[in-house]
A and B are shown apart, each in its own frame.
Chain A
């Protein structure tokens, strides 16, 4: 019997497992597929503070940013503290950007249009300016998730943390009201507490426990280019429209340019958002728009070839905040899901705070804004 059963071996589940093991708890991680095979496996690896409105999510992002840097020191996965550059096409948008930066109170530098070239020599001319965020970073999320689980097992004992892939949770076990284990495709597993880190499928897992959690898929495509011999793009570069799209509730397609290089050589191009369920059908118009926006920002990309595209499903909650904490409707069941497009960035803080809760400590950040029973019925669509 484990102290904690974590459902989901994505980056959030991995972080929960790692920090719980570090807190001295015995942890079993189960996943119906292989490690990192859900939304973690389709992410860009954003570790951003720049795109967050001041408030609880920004606090979470800042804590997570610090924790990612600590975790990266163990090595074994790519972590690039490359910084982010948000650019504005017009003076009006630039003013909004700098106002947001001032409110956020995070480390940043306002960059006038004529100085953008010093940050990104290949940026298109004529942009009004931008804001540079040195704390923004990039992580290889799949490898990071897998390494975190291994690191936990290696550091705190293989009996303490173990991973069971190919195990599907089919229901919950209870002792009275209290959740004390899971039914799976491979038999029952007992545990002192269960963590729902099932990402976009977190709502389905919650439903198995009879509680409602409105986590919905928000589809995104990423275009990947051929590997470049010389790095062309230094920072994570995106347009101001990205910030407004992230915060929007629209069901229809929204796109904004997010462009960055990777250590392996290819350039990653995002980002699109649309609510179309779990439909994986490739949308040529979306790929076209992503390409057009990237080329507009970096004309040198015009001749670079796209060799791959993939899509993923962000776990979206109606108020754009993740769900972190124990569910009062099912004591013993904790949620750590619904991070939308920020799951990679917010994973360590989520795991760290949840482990504090599980170990009976007072969490270092107020988790009230992330409480699982905050949704009204109307938001449950």
Chain B
């Protein structure tokens, strides 16, 4: 059987897109690698209720569409006028559909610094996932560092869960807590909630500060906190004891499936490669649509809005309601403003020493990257070929951004013909046709 639509990703964009299209009468299948719908933002523990609005959407979706959880999509290919989504769960599975909606979200964007490979150092998203998915705070005394508005909910969540948050270190000068962008979104309540959660526990929120080194023999014991100038060069340092560090410098959209299909990309405001879409969320490849973070990082509300617009357009709605289009425009403007308010500044490279690992998977230190450059590797890809950063388990998801910065080029769209690891046995066996 050929579905009308295969949606890849069960977060806000995917669920909204799938549900909207299914309500309009399309035969929809949604695939997600996780055990429950929700994606990163609406992640919830087994047995816990997700946020009510998302719970209602998920419930409605399950009644009207096929939902395949624990299905990792490792490739999407195109044959004639249909697409094959290649996934593997307990076995290799293939889903055929006339159209595809890519709603694969984003992953954390870390920056390397001395000691970031120590146990106890997590990405901000990783700490959040642990808390939401397993109800476990990452440590007892936790520092939160990086840049961008996402640090606040992470810190507040950890504090509410009973962890001691040793400080929130926002590298940008940007805006103070009182003028924090979540206020501007008419979400003063949400912002005040975070602020209150932090203030009530006397958690310091310090702008122009960053964690530039992590210390410990076998696990994290302390971090070096630095005061920064506006380019993120170090002005002064102090040491802070903690047993966990949640650090994040924004997000990288997951666009490898769109790249596999040949969709055109563009650079977002901060230079990140994102999928280029038109007003109806269509990509440059006929039959392929994208919504949410893959088209530009902007948070769950923008993702959901884009998902709904894509769903309506996919179902052949003549016109998308102006209300949705206006909401998308407002949220996109806001996202662009955020990217402008929290840019990554080049001074972070001065935090590195020659032996600082750039790629943790392959244990490639900065010195080897520089050596490759001296040998004539003038871009990130050739540095990877000579020195192996990005060749390991995560396939450059963690180090790709930093490596592009070190190579002095914008991050390139990821070429990953195998988007998720798959066992050779599964790859070798003939796939099961899902229905």
Contacts and interface: CB of A to CB of B under 8 A. Distances in A.
Counting chain A residues whose Cβ lies within 8 A of the other chain, the interface size class is 35 or more
B427 A308 contact: no
Nearest to B378: A34
B391 interface: yes
Interface string A257-290: 0000000101001000000000011111001100
Contact of B375 (A146, A224, A226): A146
Instruction: Tell me which of B382, B417, B422 has the highest count of chain A C-beta atoms within 10 A of its own C-beta.
Output: B417
A306 B75 contact: no
B322 interface: no
A287 B392 CA distance: 19
Nearest to B388: A264
B423 A304 contact: yes
Interface residues of B, number: 34
A41 B416 contact: no
Nearest to A150: B375
Contacts of B415: 280, 310
Interface in B48-80: 75, 77
B392 A227 contact: yes
Nearest to A35: B376
A142 B428 contact: no
14 contacts: A34-B377, A34-B378, A142-B386, A143-B386, A166-B378, A225-B424, A282-B75, A287-B418, A291-B424, A292-B427, A292-B428, A305-B421, A306-B422, A306-B423
B381 A37 contact: yes
B359 to A, nearest CB: 12
Contact of B386 (A36, A282, A301): A36
A312 to B, nearest CB: 11
Contacts of B416: 308
Interface in A211-246: 223-227
B357 to A, nearest CB: 15
Contacts of A73: none
Nearest to A225: B424
A36 B423 CA distance: 30
Contacts of A143: 375, 386
Given A282-B417, A308-B391, A34 B379 contact: yes
A79 to B, nearest CB: 15
B393 interface: yes
Interface in A305-341: 305-311
Given A146-B375, A287-B427, A291-B428, 19 more contacts: A33-B378, A36-B382, A146-B376, A146-B377, A150-B375, A165-B376, A264-B362, A264-B388, A282-B417, A291-B425, A295-B424, A295-B425, A303-B423, A303-B424, A303-B425, A306-B421, A306-B422, A307-B393, A308-B395
B375 A301 contact: no
A282 B422 CA distance: 15
Contact of A305 (B377, B382, B424): B424
A139 interface: no
Interface in B302-331: none
Interface string B419-434: 0011111011100000
B281 interface: no
A36 B385 contact: yes
Contact of B376 (A34, A266, A311): A34
B227 interface: no
Interface in A148-172: 149-150, 163, 165-166
Interface in A33-89: 33-37, 41
Contact of A288 (B262, B385, B388, B427): B427
Contacts of A269: 424
Interface in B354-378: 362, 372, 375-378
Nearest to A9: B376
Nearest to B385: A142
B86 interface: yes
Interface string B205-241: 0000000000000000000000000000000000000
A23 B417 CA distance: 43
Nearest to A149: B376
Given A226-B421, A307-B395, A282 B377 contact: no
B424 A304 contact: yes
B123 interface: no
A30 B15 CA distance: 51
